[in-house]
Structure 1
Amino acid sequence: MHKLNHILIVDDDEINNVFTQIILEDADISHRTSVCQSVPEAFDFLRNSEQHQEPSFPDLILLDLTMPYHDGFTFLEYYYQAGFQETQDAVIIILSSSEEEELKKRALSYCVVQGFLQKPLSLVMLQNLLSTTAKVQG
């Protein structure tokens, strides 16, 4: 399997972030994993990555939808306003505890969003994701 260069987790839940990092580490699917705990932090991180190439722009972004102040949809709007969907080849996967069908439909309406997974991430979920998401496969 192709190893990704960089995965970014955008989630305000520290415990979930640690758990997700452990799953990603066990799967050994990327050279680097970064974590941002808010939308503004993530957006600054992405702008810096695009401008300086260090750290590299993520191949895969695991995005939570429900965060205080700025939610995952705010992140997606910023992402589109910055034009990242045109200049970068990242795949965004929603990793959420929400089971609301309307949120899922809304998230999947963004072309960069390639999937919607329920928290917590498991190794089986990750493997299924990688086998069905062509852009992440390389």
Structure 2
Amino acid sequence: MRKLDHILIIDDDQVNSLFSQIILEDADVAETASVCYSVPEALDFLQSASTSHDTVFPDLILLDLIMPGLSGFDFLDRYYQLDYNKTQEAQICAFTSYGNEEHLEKLRKYDVIIGLTPKPLSVLNLQNILSKCTYKYL
């Protein structure tokens, strides 16, 4: 199987982010795995990736929904306002400890969302996420 070029983790929990990075590196599913610890940091990162040749725009984003300040839903709204859903091929998997029906209902309006997976990331959850990706990896 072909590796993804870039996976971005957006999660304010540094321990969980490190654990997720280790899972991604051990699974060897991407050339690069990056981490942003807040929505503003992630939006700045994506802005840079969309305008620079130094950073590849992520193929897959693992997005924590519940973060202090701006939430994962705020990120998704801004992502759509910036038209990344139209200009980029990234797919997003919501990543949360607190998944519920209300979250699922809110996520349905975003066509870039390929699922909701619980924290912490596991190899099985990662395989499930990758099976939903509609490009490159499969």
Provide the TM-score with structure 1 as the length reference: 0.95
> Residue 136 and residue 95 in structure 1: after superposition, are their counterparts in 2 closer, same or farther (change >3 A)?
farther
Aligned counterparts of 2:99 and 2:74: Cα–Cα separation in 1: 19
Contact 1:130–1:136 (CA under 8 A) maintained in structure 2? no
Question: What corresponds to 2:63 in structure 1?
Answer: 63
Q: Does structure 2 retain, via aligned residues, the 8 Å contact 1:108–1:114?
A: no
- Equivalenced residues, count: 138
2:5 alignment partner in structure 1: 5
Q: The residue matched to 2:135 in structure 1 has which SS?
A: helix
Question: Which secondary structure state, in structure 1, belongs to the residue aligned with residue 68 of structure 2?
Answer: coil
Counterpart residue type for residue 23 of structure 1? I
Mapping for residues 51-130 of structure 1, pairs under 5 Å: 51-130=51-130
CA RMSD, 1 decimal? 1.1
Deviation at 1:136, TM superposition (A): 5.4
% identity of equivalent residues: 49
SS in 2 for 1:50: helix
Following superposition, the deviation at residue 101 of structure 1 comes to 1.0
Give structure 2 stretches of 5+ with no counterpart.
none
For normalisation by structure 2, the TM-score amounts to 0.95
- Where does the alignment leave 5 or more consecutive residues of structure 1 unmatched? none
- In 1, the alpha carbon distance for the partners of 2:107 and 2:54 equals 28
1:103-132: CA deviations, max 9, x gaps? 122123200111110111100111122123
> Would the aligned equivalents of 2:66 and 2:72 in 1 still touch at CA under 8 Å?
yes
Higher helix share: 1
